[in-house]
Copies of this chain bind each other. A is one copy, B any other.
Amino acid sequence: MTITIYDVAREANVSMATVSRVVNGNPNVKPVTRKKVLDVIERLGYRPNAVARGLASKKTTTVGVIIPDISNVFYAELARGIEDIATMYKYNIILSNSDNNEEKELVVLNTLLGKQVDGIVYMGNKITDKLQDELKRANTPVVLAGVLDATEKLPNVNIDYKQSTYAVVTELIGKGHTKIAFLSDGIENTNTRAKYEGYLMALSEAKIELNSALIVELEGNNYHQGTIGWSRLTENKVEATAIFASDDEIAIGALNAAQDAGVKVPDELEAVASNNTKITLMARPQLTTVVQPLYDIGAVAMRLLTKLLNKEEITSPHVTLPYSIQKRGTTK
């Protein structure tokens, strides 16, 4: 049989309330009593039932994490940051993959809310209106990690994608490139859109006309899509001399395809990627990228959520973390 708080109370000759106080570290317990209770707990091997506690206190110390795909390095690093901080603040996380599919997101959100999570960390391409509504209806705190909120309504943690993209593209232009390809997943996705805007801004500032043959919109952020990206570019016969990729895997896919076709990197083709996941080091040449502090984005997002949960004061619900640019072998 399972040992309950009642068993402990009986054995220690105190009330359930006192046991509860001891377990929860309430200071209003005489040290002697505390010791006595602790001993019984030890002897009986009592372990508090978090489900009962959750029902009574209406707090589960569990947060839901909606993530597109945990096997994607980018999200996995964010997730690690989230989990570490969650643990630090005594929360557990329920992880659910959404595949960036709105329908799944809705189902997952509903399950999470049914499980009475105290809060939610959302990662994905964009917050759809429907999702936004559901979230509001539930009025459970939510923080977006690595996703801009187009409407600026939800707390979120990001870097400035537009600015960072502008910076690297401008630098490429400064080296004389005029045919700079932009490889990305769907431009309707919030972050990608911001990057695209940065790209456009750099071009326009340099008075370079936009060549749509250089814009390749892919169907996802992965290696395979990157290789497709390169084929698309060659089909378009644009002879790009530089690439900006919205994702590391896309960049590696495109570069490997290019190199397999005999293109010399970085001599004939320079490239800059976006996320600085650890695969940037494994590729040859190693990737030059915008450095997004992925772990930190996750960590800060979770920290922000804990503040929301404790009703701590919040300086700003929109955190923009600094980015940097890491130069490696794919640029001269």
> For window 48-92 of chain A, which residues contact chain B by CB distance below 8 Å?
48-52, 54-55, 60, 62, 65, 69-73, 76-77, 79-80, 83-84, 87, 92
Which chain B residue lies CB-closest to A92?
B94
Q: How far is the CA of A313 from the CA of B284 in the complex (A)?
A: 50
Q: Which residues of B contact A77 (CB under 8 A)?
A: 71
Interface of A is mostly: helix
Copies of this chain per assembly: 2
Alpha-carbon distance A65/B94, docked complex (angstroms): 10
**Which residues of B sit under 8 angstroms from A92, Cβ to Cβ?**
94, 96, 111-112, 115
Q: Is A259 an interface residue (CB 8 A)?
A: yes
A112 to B, closest residue via Cβ:
B92
Contact in complex: A249, B55 (CB < 8 Å): no
Nearest CB to that of A104 among chain B residues? B87
Among B45, B80, B95, B284, point to the contact of A93 (Cβ < 8 A): B95
**Could you tell me the distance between the alpha carbons of A175 and B87 in the complex, rounded to whole angstroms?**
50
Chain B residue contacts of A50, Cβ below 8 A: 114-116
How distant is the Cα of A203 from the Cα of B110 in the complex, in angstroms? 56
> Given A96-B83, A256-B282, A284-B284, A137–B45 Cβ distance below 8 Å?
yes
Q: Cβ of A47 < 8 Å from any Cβ of B?
A: yes
In the complex, A157 has a CB within 8 A of chain B: no
Taken together as a complex, chains A and B put the C-alpha atoms of A278 and B223 apart, in Å, by: 9
CB-CB under 8 A from A95, the residues of chain B are: 65, 79, 83, 93-95
A279 at the interface (CB under 8 A from B): yes
The complex places the Cα of A329 from the Cα of B53 at a distance, in Å, of 56
The answer to whether A256 and B279 touch across the interface, beta carbons within 8 angstroms, is no
Per-position binary interface string of chain A over residues 294-312, scored 1 when its CB falls under 8 Å from any chain B CB and 0 otherwise: 0100000000000000000
Given contacts A51-B51, A55-B55, are A76 and B83 in contact (CB under 8 A)? no
A residues contacting B by CB (< 8 A) are 45, 47-52, 54-55, 60, 62, 65, 69-73, 76-77, 79-80, 83-84, 87, 92-97, 110-116, 137, 223, 249, 252-253, 256, 259, 278-279, 281-284, 295
